[in-house]
Amino acid sequence: MIDRVTDMLDQAGFALSSPEVLMCIVAGSTLLVLAVTAALRRPEHLLGRWTMIGGSGLSCAAAIGLIVLFSDPMWTPQDARQLELYRWLSISGKPEFLVSLALRVDALAAVLLATTTLVSFFVAISSPREESISQLPLAGSRAFPEMDGGPLRHIESRSAATLLLFATVMTVLSANFLQLYLFWQLQTVAASLLAGLWRGDSRSPAARKLLLANRTADIALAAGVCMLWVNFGTLQFADILSPASLSDLSERKTTVIGGICFCLFGGAIGKCAQIPGYVWVHGVSGGSSRMNALLFAATLPLAGVYLIVRCMPLFAVAANAQLLIALIGAFTALLAAAIAMAQSDLNRVLAFSTSSVIGLVFLGLGTGSPQGIVAAVYLLAAHALAMSLLHLASDAGGRVPVGSVNFDDPSGSRFQAPAAYWTFLIGALMLVCGLWGQHAIVDSVWQTSPTAVTAQQTLLSSIALLSCFLTALAIFRGFFLTFHGRIERPHGTGGIDGDPHKHSRNGTQWPLVVLAIIAVVSGPLLGSPLLGGPHGILESLLSRANVFTPQAVAAINSVGGQEPAGLFGIGLSLPVSLLGVVIAWMLYAPPREWPDAVQKTLGPYVRLSQNRFYLEEFYDLFLLRPFHGLAAFCRFADRVLIEGGLVGVIGKLPDWAGRAAAPLENGSVQLYALAMLFAASVLLFVLLWMGG
């Protein structure tokens, strides 16, 4: 009996030590959650909440198991595990078109899966209890901007959130480019459903903007995928990204790959809200904090960065594309941080900070060096944890339990919600200077040419430093304004039941604390590029994921081959970030008058920043209006020229012909005879001529 039990345990353990089983668990549990939440009809049903928590927790555990499995040094960069589910579409021909729905996992995918599922798990845990939902007022409640439309909307938004999680997980688990594109777009749709539902009907233009901006960017991605198929004859990651297919390239093929890389990055621009695709951030980020945690920390940027990291072997061939990534990343980091500085709403500050941090991630990827890539992936994961902590803490500590946190509203939740206060502080410190991600990236940019100082390197690293400073300033400005502001309560607007913080006490504190601990611990655990030294866990994981060039992998594997990270980054960027924190503290911590004075002196700049550098207005003026004008013109042309002109004229032709011929039919027999004679002579002539 005992033997059998141990046997079974052994078998279970064996099953759990196979990546295939684990990735099936990850995908399957998210799919199950999606099915259950979509099928539920009553919002107060406990099943919905617990499936979400259980499902995301289970998939998170499986993803961490995958990381553990892949930290075994037996894996080489080429042997990812792949499991074919079913044949989606296949067409014979040359080249054969074959797309299967398959799950494919390697170390890179495992890291990103763990990140996204972990964040979703904590978002699920800290969502409000069902008993409080069933008591929600129905449509039109002002206290619950998120709940416009009542419980029904809550179910729908929960389904959308699980769909978003499922799409993200499947994007990361994709085995070929078409499958990636499929789930990539599904993720966009889910995100826009979520944004549209949580924000209430009147504000759903934000959701439409998200969808359209991303679809426009996806033109580039679709073109890239098509070009891959035309040029490589396959869409499998394993075939395209293998060193064999990318070695000994002709010059033409190198150019083509450069073009493909541009296209792929075009898709990522939309997802990661980089220049010029960040137009959707402002609208969407006005929603609830938990939604923002899902959208901005766990899902959208993650997918975009994943695509680029996955295609690093392609980018290694195309130096121009790498430079483009680095430039766009750097400028987005700067611009988004500048926008984040002037926003009057904590959610928006955090959303634009995300954009800025992801810009730094792209800057790291743009260096193309192993150090830069490791730092980028590290910063992405660390940012997801810290940023979700910030969102959830602001959710718990804001003026109302959910919804926008506006700085103009009375605040001062330091005393009412100490847990939120401290966890937010920890998260912000981690994000700004605790986890070394930014500093490692600055360092890796500096390391791109270790011998001589180039203009490009100087430009990029100084922009990165500046954006570190601005991000720190923006986040801590938000922090101080939210938690250290005036403590006053205007009469009669104290939220529901007169106590604005009733819900924040409602047992939502311990998830925050746990998440804060995880965010702090995960740095050293993953092997922060500086803390863990040059041979951190993340680096060894990524060296088994076909991300680096073979030479770099060889250098990493030969002991001591890799240069230890320099002190340039930490020596310069840590003080700069801290300076940002300190300045924010001096300006905003106690309520003072002179932030207003500063704002006045910097008037035009602040207005520019508040209005997101008028990019949306620019698009409106130079893209949307001309398009609408063109549409109106086409409609006019259709009405007047085609329907009225062409068709009208053709329609009148028989009439005209009749009128023209009418005088001939006037009853004059002589005329008829003349015509007959004429025709007969012509006929005779033709016959004679033909016969001769």
Partner 1 sequence: MEFLTRFGQTLLDNIVFMMVMLPLVGACLVMTSAGFGIESIRRTALTNVVLSLLLAIAMVTHYNPLKRTATGKPELMQMVSHNLIWLGSEHRNPADKSNSRPAVTGLNVRCAVGVDGISLWLVALSVLLTFAAVLSSWGNDSERPAAFYALLLLLESALIGVFAALDVVLFYVCLEFAVLVLFFLVSGWGGSNRRHVGMTFALYNLAGSLLILLGLIGLVTSYAWMQSLQPGGNPRLVFGIGEMTHGLRSLTGDGSVSQQYWLYARPWIFLVLVAGFAIRIPLVPFHTWFATANVEARSTVSVLLSGVVLKIGCYGLLRFVVPIFPGICPEAFGFLSPVVVAGVVFAAFIALAQDNLRSLVSFASISHMGICVLGITTLNLVGVTGGLLHLVNHGLSVAVLLLIVGIIHTRSGRQSWQSNDAASKRRPLLKWFLAIAVLSLIGVPGLNGFASETLLLLGLFDSNPAHAVWVLGANVLLAWAFLSVTQRVLMAGPSGVFADLSGRQLAMLLPLVILIVWIGVAPHFFVARIEPSILELLSAYSSQ
Q: Does 91 bind partner 1 (CB under 8 A)?
A: yes
Pick from 47, 186, 518, 525 the residue near partner 1 by CB under 8 A. Answer: 186
**Interface with partner 1, residue 331, by CB under 8 A:** no
Contact region for partner 1 (CB under 8 A) — 350-358, 421-429, 504-512, 631-639?
631-639
Confirm or reject binding of residue 189 to partner 1 (CB under 8 A).
yes
Q: Does 619 bind partner 1 (CB under 8 A)?
A: no
Nearer to partner 1, 141 or 462 (CB): 141
Q: Residues 562, 556: contact at Cβ < 8 Å?
A: yes
State yes or no: residue 632 binds partner 1 (CB under 8 A). Answer: yes
**Measuring CA to CA, which residue among 51, 111, 186 is closest to residue 539?**
111
Kindly state the smallest distance separating residue 270's Cβ from partner 1, in Å.
12
- Residue 189 CB, shortest distance to partner 1, in Å, is 5
Tell me: does residue 34 bind partner 1 (CB under 8 A).
no
Q: Which of residues 111-170 bind partner 1 (CB under 8 A)?
A: 152
CA distance 112 to 173: 10
Are the CB atoms for 57 and 122 separated by under 8 Å? no
DSSP string, 507-544: S-HHHHHHHHHHHHHHHHHHT-TTTT-TT-HHHHHHTT
CA 126 to chain centre: 22
**Is 89 among the residues that bind partner 1 (CB under 8 A)?**
yes
Closer to partner 1 by Cβ: residue 183 or 296: 183
Binds partner 1 (CB under 8 A): choice among 487, 602, 646, 679: 646
Cβ(437)–Cβ(378) below 8 Å: yes
d(CA 689, CA 12): 98
Task: Yes or no: say if 519 and 385 are a contact pair by the CB < 8 Å rule.
Answer: yes
The dihedral over CA atoms of 596, 600, 602, 604, expressed in degrees to the nearest 10, equals: 130
Residue with smaller CB distance to partner 1, 184 or 378: 184
Q: Which of 21, 31, 223, 323 binds partner 1 (CB under 8 A)?
A: 223
Which ranges constitute the DSSP H helices of 102-250?
107-125, 130-134, 151-172, 177-198, 205-232, 237-240, 243-246
Give yes or no for residue 35 binding partner 1 (CB under 8 A): no
Query: How many residues contact partner 1, by CB under 8 A?
Result: 47
Stretch that binds partner 1, among 103-111, 238-246, 375-383, 638-646 (CB under 8 A): 638-646
Query: Cβ contacts of residue 544 below 8 Å, gap of 6+?
Result: 70, 73, 75, 76, 77, 106, 107
* Interface map 583-612 toward partner 1 (x if CB under 8 A): ------------------------------
By CB under 8 A, residue 31 contacts partner 1: no
Residue 41 sits in the site that holds partner 1 (CB under 8 A): yes
The candidate with the shortest Cα–Cα distance to 422, out of 453, 465, 384, 393, is 393
640 binds partner 1 (CB under 8 A): no
Token pair 């991600």 is at which residue? 437
Cβ of residue 109: shortest distance to partner 1, in angstroms?
20
Q: Which stretch binds partner 1 (CB under 8 A): 424-432, 481-489, 539-547, 635-643?
A: 635-643
CA neighbor of 314 nearest in space, from 365, 359, 260, 266: 260
Q: Please report how close the Cβ of residue 179 comes to partner 1 at its closest, in angstroms.
A: 9
Contact 130, 45 (CB under 8 A): yes
Residues forming the site for partner 1 (CB under 8 A): 41, 86-93, 97, 152, 178, 181-183, 185-186, 189, 201, 204-205, 208, 211-212, 215-216, 219, 222-223, 226-227, 229-230, 627-628, 630-635, 638, 642-643, 646-647, 651
